[in-house]
Homo-oligomer: A and B are copies of this chain.
């Protein structure tokens, strides 16, 4: 994991918020993320794909849905960076986090 490549992955609002949301909640599917972040589907998917290709996220398909979580083999220092960023910038993504947790706990939710 080249550190410059790693930081490039965090250097975008969509990707960073997606990562912080996933770090906080453990995992999330694409449809919940796009609603929480108020983004269209291709944009959400593209950024998640970039994080997956860099080895930061791991995807798992369950039926129609694809869930993303932090890659278990992510180097500890890199995981710490994400977790520390999440713990110290709650205001940056609290709106999205509230929406995401509402979706995830709702029985009306798609997945």
**Residues of chain A having any CB pair with chain B under 8 Å:** 2-4, 7-8, 10-13, 16, 75-77, 80-81, 84-85, 87-89, 92
Most buried by B among A4, A8, A75: A4
Complex Cα distance, B9 from A11, in Å, reads 8
Which one, B4, B11, B77, contacts A4 given CB within 8 A?
A: B11
Knowing A16-B3, A16-B4 touch, does A85 contact B81 (C-beta < 8 A)? Answer: yes
Instruction: Give the top 5 A-B pairs by smallest Cβ distance, nearest first.
Output: A77-B88, A11-B11, A7-B10, A8-B11, A7-B11
Most buried by B among A7, A10, A80, A88: A7
A55 to chain B, nearest CB (A): 15
Interface pairs (15), CB distance under 8 Å: A2-B92, A3-B89, A3-B92, A4-B10, A4-B11, A4-B13, A4-B16, A7-B7, A7-B10, A10-B10, A10-B11, A11-B11, A76-B88, A77-B85, A81-B85
- Structural contact, A16 and B7, CB atoms closer than 8 A: yes
CB neighbours of A12 from chain B (8 A): 4
